[in-house]
Amino acid sequence: MRARIHFFSIKKEHQGQGLGSHFLKQLLFLVMPVTKNKL
């Protein structure tokens, strides 16, 4: 899980501001199940 988030962060840095909302959607998609499990 952590490796996947790290991959997206590298991808974000590589493409700069170009990702925009797409990266936010990906981040939400990854984080939501984790927060649900913790709750």
> Would you place residue 39 in the very low, low, confident or very high pLDDT band (cuts 50, 70, 90)?
low
Say what the pLDDT of residue 24 is: 79
Give the structural domain span for 15. 2-38
> What H or E segment, with its residue span, contains residue 27?
helix 21-38
Does the model's pTM come out above 0.75? no
Segment 7-31, tens digit of pLDDT:
666 665 555 555 567 777 888 888 8
- What does the alpha-carbon distance between residue 36 and residue 15 come to, in Å, rounded to a whole number? 30
- What does the alpha-carbon distance between residue 16 and residue 14 come to, in Å, rounded to a whole number? 6
Say what the pLDDT of residue 11 is: 62
Arithmetic mean of pLDDT, 27-39: 79
The domain total for the chain is 1
- What does the alpha-carbon distance between residue 39 and residue 22 come to, in Å, rounded to a whole number? 26
Say what the pLDDT of residue 10 is: 61
